[in-house]
Structure 1
């Protein structure tokens, strides 16, 4: 588990636009939001990422860079990109399971039409110096932070200079 106010591991992942996204190279005004989603098999993830798409402008206005990543193959990520309404969401693929574990993420074994193993969802709100501000780590697709509430919280944090909590 990564504690708030401590440096996160660096993260480098291939994006569907044939670029490599690297956390240490991000230069957001306030935060980088790393959204880990389960993969194409997850209808809850589809809705969540589509909501992020609807609010990308809000995140940008608040100085937040967004990336969504999964352990899906490139082909599955491409299919998600084509079938879901997420045309502006930077989409990363093949997030290694062992690296996901180093971030404190939960891994599930597939049932029915799911991949053999995949990463459960999480969000990480990371300061420009790569220290963790906040995280929400799930064990299943449900109970994720609401995007609109997260945006309101970012406003509060920025306006009140509210410190990261949970570091003790």
Structure 2
């Protein structure tokens, strides 16, 4: 059963290979504001394509606000590379081979394939913001491909968070 990482607590470890041939590790990130982790379902998902293309249009704005951004899926390298190339995501770091154990540690919903084009098991979408000190700030975990946070609103909210030193919410366990 997946765990749910709690806001304002240390985020789970995360290390994934990048399509450029190196590894990406959360613990080595040092953004001015946040590391934004965008989990997408995989190459098979047309909504993921649209969402990541929208992310591309906001990418420079997030970076200008002090964000480090990465997209991650459970797809293997070949599918991740194809998504990167076919979707025109040339400026966004893309990780692949997220394991089931990692997905569960982050509280992600997992689905089994229902089409031949889908990876056997894949993570449903999520967006996380992690503070430079490694504490989780924002967590939006979905179980359906069409339930994702508005990237424009997230971008605008980054200003409010910075200006008002807005605290992480949802810190009380249910």
For the aligned pair, the TM-score class normalised by the smaller chain equals over 0.9
Q: How does 1:17-28 map to 2 (within 5 A)?
A: 17-28=20-31
- Per-residue deviation, residues 99-152 of structure 1 (Å, max 9, x unmatched): 101110000011023221111010110000110001100001012001101001
- Select which of 143, 155, 159 maps to 2:163: 159
1:75 alignment counterpart? 78
Query: In 2, Cα distance between the equivalents of 1:13 and 1:108?
Result: 20
Which residue number in structure 2 is paired with residue 144 of structure 1? 148
String of CA shifts for 1:53-100, please: whole Å, max 9, x gaps.
Answer: 111111011101000000001000011111002110100000001210
Provide the aligned C-alpha RMSD in A.
0.7
2:133 equivalent to 1:129 = yes
Q: Which residue number in structure 2 is paired with residue 10 of structure 1?
A: 13
Aligned to 1:38: 41
Number of residue pairs matched by the alignment: 168
TM-score, reference length from structure 2: 0.95
Runs (4 or more) in structure 1 with deviation over 6 Å come to: none
SS in 2 for 1:55: helix
Could you tell me which runs of 5 or more consecutive residues in structure 1 were left unpaired when the two chains were aligned. none
Unaligned runs of 5+ in 2: none
Does 1:51 pair with 2:54? yes
TM-score under structure 1 length normalisation: 0.98
